[in-house]
Structure 1
Amino acid sequence: MKKPSAKIRDEIAKLQDQLKLAETREAERIGRIALKAGLGDIEIDEAELQAAFDQLSRRVRGGQGGTTGGKKGAGDSRGPTSNTAHASGAAAGSGGEA
């Protein structure tokens, strides 16, 4: 059973809207966390900040590649505690280096 192209386009448009909303929610969440950590008022080049976030992402993910944005290891009870310690330590260290 084939779908007409117009219906597929409609589904794609709906999925793009859902993606945009999900990305906005994620960006707001990360932004709130960054502000709480004091990163809102640091003066750092955007490329340097991106590199610092990339490094932090690798550390939090345990050296795994890729940025799916998913909740990997959500069931792991020890993950969030150690990740939080790494995240706050790296955020504090990045702010001092700028």
Structure 2
Amino acid sequence: MKKPSSKIREEIARLQDQLRQAETREAERIGRIALKAGLGEIEIEETELQKAFQELAVRFHRSDAKPRKPETAPVTAGAVSGGAGEA
């Protein structure tokens, strides 16, 4: 049995809303990570930053890419100390 067009439109609207919500969550996640990495403090053109993100995406989307362990511990905001004598 075929669905009436009104039901299909309702389903499309519901899916579009789900898509917007998912994109918002993803954008917030990426934004938090970018801020922690210090990207909020650099002056760079948006197109140049987008190109860098695209290059990063290619790196992680490769089918032959395997998860790697980080070579160094990740740096978080406030984690860098410059004082002498700290242990």
- Using the alignment, how far apart are the partners of 2:69 and 2:54 within structure 1? 14
1:3 CA drift (Å): 0.4
Which protein, 1 or 2, shows the higher relative CO under an 8 Å CA cutoff with sep ≥ 6?
1
User: Using the alignment, how far apart are the partners of 1:48 and 1:84 within structure 2?
Assistant: 25
Runs of 4+ in structure 1 displaced over 6 angstroms? Answer: none
Report the TM-score, using the length of structure 2 for normalisation. Answer: 0.73
- The residue that corresponds to 1:50 in the other structure is 50
Structure having the higher helix fraction is 1
Q: Larger Cα Rg: Structure 1 or Structure 2?
A: 2
Q: Unmatched 5+ residue regions in structure 2?
A: 75-87
Distance 1:83 1:30, change over 3 A: farther
Percent identity of paired positions between Structure 1 and Structure 2 = 66
**Residues 1-98 of structure 1: pairs in structure 2 closer than 5 A:** 1-62=1-62, 79=67, 82=68
- TM-score, scaled relative to structure 1: 0.65
Shift of 1:60: 1.7
Structure 1, unmatched stretches of 5+, are: 65-77, 89-98
Cα deviation for residue 15 of structure 1 reads 0.2
Distance 1:8 1:40, change over 3 A: same
Structure 2 vs 1, CA of residues 33 and 39 (structure 1 numbering), >3 Å: closer, same or farther? same
Query: 1:34·1:40 contact (CA, 8 Å) conserved in 2?
Result: yes
Alignment-mate amino acid for residue 2 of structure 1:
K
Q: Which amino acid aligns with 1:25?
A: R
State the Cα RMSD in Å: 1.9
Q: How many residues align?
A: 70
